[in-house]
Amino acid sequence: MAMSSLAIKARAKANPLLTWRALRFRTICSGGLGFATSESDPPDPPVAGTKFLESFKEEFEMGSRVISLETGKIARFANGAVVLGMEETKVLSTIAAGKGDAVRDFLPLTVDYQEKQFAQGVIPNTFMRREGAPKERELLCGRLIDRPIRPLFPAGFYHEIQVMASVLSSDGKQDPDVMAANATSAALMLSDIPWGGPIGVVRIGRICGQFIVNPTMDELSLSDLNLVYACTRDKTLMIDVQAREISEKDLEAGLRLAHPEAVKYLEPQIRLAARAGKQKKEYKLSMVSEQTFEKVRNLAEEQIEAIFTDPSYGKFERGEALEKITQDVKIALEEECDEESLKVLPKVVDTVRKQVVRKKIISEGSRVDGRHLDEVRPIYCEAGHLPILHGSALFNRGDTQVLCTVTLGAPQDAQRLDSLVGPPKKRFMLHYSFPPFSINEIGKRAGLNRREVGHGTLAEKALLAVLPPEDCFPYTVRINSEVMASDGSTSMATVCGGSMALMDAGIPLREHVAGVSVGLVTDVDPATGEIRDRRILTDILGLEDHLGDMDFKIAGTRNGVTAIQLDIKPAGIPLDIICDCLEPARKGRLQILDHMEREISAPRTQDDRNSPRLVTLKFTNDAIRKFIGPLGALKRKIEEETGARISVGDGTITIVAKNQAVMEKVQDKVDFIVGREIEVGGIYKGIVTSVKEYGAFVDFNGGQQGLLHISELSHEPVSRVSDVVSVGQQISLMCIGQDVRGNIKLSRKATLPQPGSKTENAVEGSVPVSKDAPNVWASLENASNGEQQKSTSEELPLRKNEDTEVNPFASSAPAVVIRSTAECDEEEKSAGLSKTAKSTPKRMGILKRNNKLKTVQPSNNKPDSTLSSLLSNSLSLMGREKELISEDEGENNLSNQMDKETGVKTPMTPQKLKLGTKVTAKVYQIRARGLVLDLGGGIRGMYRFEPNGEKDFNVDDELPVQCSSFTSKGIPVMSLVEEK
């Protein structure tokens, strides 16, 4: 035993932990010191009991899809919780009610909708790797849930309610917003909160004239209608529409289809509530006694009626007069010491106002400001209010005033969207702002406001339908709407002002878009709740919106509706009344469009140096890498120096400049680094690299080299080249052609004025010639004018600040030039290979970015030198060194060409060599993978060996060949022709 104890002590010195383990002690467990059990006698581990989660589920079919409602499994502590599933998309909605009495005069209902990235198995790409503040889409979905459920809470119910809807999983096929609204309705039915539901919410699309119930996201992208409809069993609660100029007749058909489809959601909710719902709780309602109401009405009704009968009152004058009446009633109640009436005085006075206004409209058909029921307020509109901006407009309807501005940006300025469904980016944005001064109040501006986001999105939907497609108009467009004064329907004023601002910016809209808000006043039987009489109001005031039954916003063009938003205050309105409002809204919309079109009826087309420019250029990827520089440093430097935006794609460089001067500056830098399309007659800047006896060699256009012959130095005779130019000198030169070897010929004297002439020097980069019309997006009026589709510059401006009454399309240089690869190739072939031998006395080549010139027609202010394309790179591609020859040698070679009319057989020329041309060629060289062929006339072609084909060829063998294609550098690829 002693020996054993000594052994333990010896080992403890080496490892102190052995002492505890050898003596079967453990350190600290559950706050105490204890003995370890022996391994031979372990205790039985505790066994957890099995918890049983009782869940209830209802399933039903909507079209071809099965929808499930489930409760009881998760979120069991919530007042009501439902998981709604459609295929693999599942949405959870929970309800919670505040504790205590409700000491307030409004319903504090909060709806929070959230889409977390885990629903699609993605980690958020943020610094904290978690979701941040609610995104715009989440705010909009929250409003979509709030609007149909709010009217169904009983009058006087002012307890705090919070709805939280979150997406648990998403397969990307279904938009979860409608599912969340139905899940919220089911959760309210299960809770103990008094509520007048259930409701059903359904989405309707239309593809090729056929309506689709609950369309998928793919189907929705093809649809010209996105209709969200909410209702009870017999009344409409909410409508939200985005459409592409759908007619009122088709819209009514969609609404009447949506109602019975939405009703299908009701029975499953009722069955689920019967199985798992809670008993409705008796909440305290804040009701006004009949005695208090009669007392306040007797004191204030006559004075309120007198104010509302006088149309001379403005918004604030009327408000001050009504406030004075409230103070007089307050003094009278204080004298009577009626504390109960004083507590509810503001609400009672507001109710009296409502009754007075509604009675006046129903009985007399007259409104607060004296207008007829279908009359639109006076309109003032002004396009180009801020001329220095890209586009601007000021729109007034009555006392409502909105200033809209348009800003154009590069494609990379598009907003990135991180939502679970929908497109990944948005290139058209409308931001609506409602500052406190617009209603003469003091307020604090902080963060996104649900109302501002909702109004801005409604106007954005309305205008999106008339924008040109992205492939024709790649700008990113931002409209900023600032409400300057508000007296009803500022969102519809934003639609009108935004449409005018877009046209002022030169954006080719198909049609003007206008919007108007329609209201409703009803006379309801208090016993049965049936509507006995009603009046529809066009272009409602803010007061009529507050005291009326609905705010029905409808926007569209002359051809149809583009956006709708319906909000109501009572617990539903019959669909027939909703459909009756479509025609008054159309008539009011047409009146507004007349005023807008008188101010500006077509996109601005006048050239303006302050208007933005966008150009997309095609380059090889090697050239683009050269332009970007190491780690993009060269590109960033150009952006910092010029203020332009440059985006780089696969084979393209897109430049967006603030104005023409900035665009020219950026293109000069791009030309110097990369080079641009070389044209005969084009003016370029170059640096002299070497001086010879017969001329000078000049580097220009991104590293390309050309020969400045001594005869092209000046109009005066030059004895020595060094007397005029020196190495390192920067000079302006004109490209005058190309010799038979592909070398570019330059001229300095062509840029100088003729002796005795007062003509100014040509501007660098200018090409005083016309060329083929590029692929541009012009306005519809310009599309029929063939001459207007031509342009002399690569960057083409947006037109603005033009009087539309004086020939608005006199000049139609469009906003964008986009040249595809196919168009470049076609232009190259047509310019270099399709010219006939009778075009001009000279036949010379032109070079594009890879040493190919472009043939252009001669003009009056430059030498007559129309040149055709030669295959200049054939020798360099085959590994031979590039040779430079003097101009005299080139002229001698060209003089050997003979016209067909002489009857003498002429050698092969590039003009004769086309696809399908058959010639007899000689084998010039034999390579490992093919032959170099001499086609005659100094032209080389290539023939590739076929796999496992015959390779027995000798130099100078004659072969019958046919031109089958051209390489990217213009070298003809030949194929053997079988002899018959």
The one-character DSSP state at 974 is E
9 versus 699: the higher-pLDDT residue is 699
Q: Which of 66-80, 175-189, 578-592, 807-821 has the lowest mean pLDDT?
A: 807-821
CA distance 252 to 235: 15
Same domain assignment for residues 353 and 383: no
Sign of CA dihedral 706, 710, 716, 720: positive
Domain end marker among 572, 599, 626: 599
Report the CATH number that the domain containing residue 646 is assigned in CATH.
3.30.1370.10
User: How many CB atoms lie under 10 A from the CB of residue 972?
Assistant: 28
Cβ atoms of 923 and 943 closer than 8 Å: no
Same domain assignment for residues 233 and 255: yes
Report the CATH number that the domain containing residue 232 is assigned in CATH.
3.30.230.70
Instruction: Report CA 380 to chain centroid distance, whole Å.
Output: 30
Same domain assignment for residues 514 and 464: yes
User: How many CB atoms lie under 10 A from the CB of residue 747?
Assistant: 22
- Whether 522 is covered by a domain: the verdict is yes
pLDDT band at 454 (very low <50, low <70, confident <90, very high): very high
Same domain assignment for residues 177 and 304: no
Cβ atoms of 481 and 394 closer than 8 Å: no
The arithmetic mean of pLDDT across residues 433-438, rounded, is: 92
Q: Name the nearest CA neighbour of 561 among 82, 225, 942.
A: 225
Q: What is the four-CA torsion angle of 423, 427, 428, 429, rounded to 10 degrees?
A: 90
- Per-residue model confidence as pLDDT tens digits over 205-233: 999 999 999 999 999 999 999 999 999 99
pLDDT at 949: 66
What are the beta bridge partners of residue 515?
Answer: 555
As a 3-state breakdown, the chain gives helix, strand, coil percent values, each rounded to 5, of: 30, 25, 45
Asked if pLDDT for residue 771 goes beyond 50, the answer is: no
Same domain assignment for residues 550 and 595: yes
Same domain assignment for residues 736 and 637: no
Domain end marker among 251, 276, 301: 276
Q: What global pTM score does this model have?
A: 0.69
pLDDT band at 678 (very low <50, low <70, confident <90, very high): confident
DSSP code per residue over 127-181: SSSS--SPPHHHHHHHHHHHHHHGGGSPTT----EEEEEEEEE--SSS-HHHHHH
pLDDT at 110: 94
pLDDT at 342: 85
What's the domain range around 345?
Answer: 290-364
- Whether 93 is covered by a domain: the verdict is yes
pLDDT at 559: 94
Tokens of 611: 């208007």
Same domain assignment for residues 269 and 337: no
Average pLDDT of the chain, as a whole number: 78
pLDDT at 757: 53
pLDDT band at 556 (very low <50, low <70, confident <90, very high): very high
Q: What CA–CA distances, in Å, run from 475 to 64, 261, 471, 615? A: 40, 40, 10, 10
Helix axes 450-464, 490-504, angle to 10 degrees: 50
Same domain assignment for residues 489 and 396: yes
Q: What CA–CA distances, in Å, run from 25 to 19, 33, 629? A: 8, 8, 69
894 versus 178: the higher-pLDDT residue is 178
CA distance 738 to 867: 8
pLDDT band at 35 (very low <50, low <70, confident <90, very high): very low
- Per-residue model confidence as pLDDT tens digits over 612-668: 778 888 888 888 888 888 888 888 989 898 888 888 877 888 888 877 888 888 888
Tokens of 676: 């641009």
3 state SS of 948: coil
Q: Which of 501-510, 779-788, 823-832, 935-944 has the lowest mean pLDDT?
A: 779-788
CA distance 169 to 176: 10
Sign of CA dihedral 600, 603, 606, 609: positive
Contacts of 130 (CB under 8 A, 6+ apart): 124
- Per-residue model confidence as pLDDT tens digits over 803-859: 333 333 333 333 333 334 444 444 444 444 333 333 333 333 333 333 444 433 333
Asked if pLDDT for residue 418 goes beyond 60, the answer is: yes
- Whether 121 is covered by a domain: the verdict is yes
815 versus 299: the higher-pLDDT residue is 299
- Whether 971 is covered by a domain: the verdict is yes
User: How many CB atoms lie under 10 A from the CB of residue 894?
Assistant: 15
Asked if pLDDT for residue 510 goes beyond 80, the answer is: yes
pLDDT at 879: 36
Q: Name the nearest CA neighbour of 673 among 632, 639, 624, 630.
A: 624
Total domains in the fold of the chain: 6
303 versus 678: the higher-pLDDT residue is 303
Asked if pLDDT for residue 796 goes beyond 90, the answer is: no
Go through 507-533 and write b for each residue having 16 or more CB atoms within 10 A of its CB, e for each that does not.
bbbebbbbbbbbbbbbeeeeeeeebee
- Whether 821 is covered by a domain: the verdict is no
- Per-residue model confidence as pLDDT tens digits over 519-530: 999 998 888 888
User: How many CB atoms lie under 10 A from the CB of residue 329?
Assistant: 23
Report the CATH number that the domain containing residue 736 is assigned in CATH.
2.40.50.140
Tokens of 330: 């307050």
- Whether 65 is covered by a domain: the verdict is yes
Q: What is the four-CA torsion angle of 771, 775, 776, 782, rounded to 10 degrees?
A: 70
Peptide bond into 198 cis (omega under 30): yes
Report the CATH number that the domain containing residue 359 is assigned in CATH.
1.10.10.400
Cβ atoms of 392 and 404 closer than 8 Å: yes
Asked if pLDDT for residue 179 goes beyond 80, the answer is: yes
Same domain assignment for residues 101 and 207: yes
User: How many CB atoms lie under 10 A from the CB of residue 624?
Assistant: 19
Same domain assignment for residues 508 and 433: yes
Domain end marker among 751, 780, 810: 751
CA distance 476 to 470: 9
- Whether 762 is covered by a domain: the verdict is no
pLDDT band at 373 (very low <50, low <70, confident <90, very high): very high
Same domain assignment for residues 709 and 595: no
Tokens of 206: 């239309």
The arithmetic mean of pLDDT across residues 388-408, rounded, is: 93
Cβ atoms of 372 and 538 closer than 8 Å: no
- Per-residue model confidence as pLDDT tens digits over 469-507: 888 888 889 999 999 999 888 999 999 999 999 999 989
Tokens of 827: 């232009």
Q: Is 436 exposed, middle or buried (0-12, 13-18, 19+ CB in 10 A)?
A: exposed
Cβ atoms of 477 and 467 closer than 8 Å: yes
pLDDT at 156: 87
Asked if pLDDT for residue 802 goes beyond 50, the answer is: no
Q: Name the nearest CA neighbour of 774 among 840, 822, 832.
A: 822
Same domain assignment for residues 193 and 317: no
Q: What angle do CA 496, 499, 505 make, to 5 degrees?
A: 140
- Whether 854 is covered by a domain: the verdict is no
Ramachandran region of residue 563, left (φ > 0), alpha (ψ -120 to 50) or beta? beta
